Amino acid sequence: MLKQLLLIFLGGGLGSALRYLISKSLNSESFFIPYGTFTVNIIGSLLLGLFIGFAARYEFFNSNIVLFLAVGFCGGFTTFSTFTLENQALLRSGDYLNFFFYAFGSIIIGILAVFLGLFLSKLT
C-alpha cells in the first residue's frame, strides 16, 4: 500500500508541476477563456484515455504504472477545482457567452479526448 501511495504522490507532483507551467504560460487576462486550464484538461483527458487503453491492451501496463500515470499524473495534471473557479468568475463578471463556450466546450471536448485516447491506444 505504501508503494502505491508513493507512486500516486510522485505522479501527482509531476502532473501538478507541469500543469502549473502550462497554465502560467497560457493563461492571460487578455484572453476570453483560460486557455491554460482548458489545454491541460483536454490533454489530460486524452492521456487518461491512452493510459487506460494501453493498460487494457498491454501487460507491461501493470497496476503500478496505471496508478502512477492515470491516478497520479493525470489527477495532478488536470484540475476540476480551477475549472469551476474560472467558470464562477466568468459568471460573476456577466460573461455568459465565454462561460458557455468554456464550460460546455471543456466538458464535450474532454469526453471526446478520452474516446480519442482509447481509440488511438487500439491502433498500436
Distance CA 20, CA 6 (A): 21
Distance CA 11, CA 6 (A): 8
- The DSSP annotation for 28-70 comes to -TTSSS-HHHHHHHHHHHHHHHHHHHHHHH-TTS-HHHHIIII
Distance CA 6, CA 99 (A): 37
What burial class does residue 20 get, using C-beta atoms within 10 Å of its C-beta: 0-12 exposed, 13-18 middle, 19+ buried?
Answer: middle
78 is known to lie in a ligand binding site? yes
**Binding site listing for Na(+):** 75, 78
**Binding site listing:** 75, 78
